[in-house]
Amino acid sequence: MSQLAYSSVPVWARPGGTSDLTTPEPTGSSYVLVGVGDVADLLARSEARLPHGTTRLHGDVASVTPLLATALSDAVVGVRVHIIADAGAALALRAVALNAGLEDDEIEIVTVTAPAPHRPVLEIFCAHCRTVTRASARVDDVVACTGCRRDLLVYHHVSRRSGHFLGFMVDAETSRPSCGTAHPTDTDQHSATHSHAEEAR
């Protein structure tokens, strides 16, 4: 029954979603191991399974994101990326890897979940003014857009290319504005997002 069944939010990024630390398939020609937050133990376990010469990045999401982009820009064909991070950071890092040309099966993600009531920091794209707001939130939470101040419902759709969650004005579905000012003028990516959202209702 869950709408999440139709969601673009990967299983590992959903509330209660889990992913196990698996043994990386040694199919790549080189590896980049990325960890965000308090994951030193998991990083060490993953690193032990990977070949010598694996590039290891560890820090907060703001510091490792450009490092990952640089590492992948220098990488040869066959690079694999392993990400160990909370859901929000993992989505952002996956987007970096996808934009660098990797395929989904070349990216392994292990999500770590801090104990409740901690919420991961997500990036929410406002469908109304296109501002991206960073906030500690989960799907179905309401956050204030830093651009237009609308209260946005964090929708269960994630852009693969940006890692951003989609946010709609919280009461948009119950009191549709008749003035027509809320139509997002979108890139291809986000118009696809929008039609997806329409279908999912």
> Contact positions toward Zn ion, by CB under 5 A?
126, 128-129, 131, 145, 147-148
Tokens of 190: 């986000």
CB of residue 158 to Zn ion, shortest distance in Å: 18
Q: Give yes or no for a contact between 122 and 88, defined as CB atoms under 8 angstroms apart.
A: yes
Nearest to 96 by CA among 112, 105, 107, 85: 107
CB atoms within 10 A of CB 34: 29
Q: Which is nearer to Zn ion, 64 or 166 (CB)?
A: 166
Q: Which is nearer to Zn ion, 128 or 157 (CB)?
A: 128
CB of residue 18 to Zn ion, shortest distance in Å: 32
Nearest to 93 by CA among 133, 138, 61: 61
CB of residue 47 to Zn ion, shortest distance in Å: 41
Q: Which is nearer to Zn ion, 33 or 126 (CB)?
A: 126
Nearest to 89 by CA among 107, 65, 105: 65
Q: Give yes or no for a contact between 131 and 124, defined as CB atoms under 8 angstroms apart.
A: no
Q: Which is nearer to Zn ion, 22 or 187 (CB)?
A: 187
CB of residue 113 to Zn ion, shortest distance in Å: 28
CB of residue 151 to Zn ion, shortest distance in Å: 10
Could you give the count of Cα atoms lying within 13 Å of 110 in the half-sphere of its Cβ? 18
Q: Give yes or no for a contact between 126 and 184, defined as CB atoms under 8 angstroms apart.
A: no
Q: Give yes or no for a contact between 82 and 32, defined as CB atoms under 8 angstroms apart.
A: yes
d(CA 36, CA 121): 12
CB of residue 193 to Zn ion, shortest distance in Å: 15
Q: Which is nearer to Zn ion, 12 or 125 (CB)?
A: 125
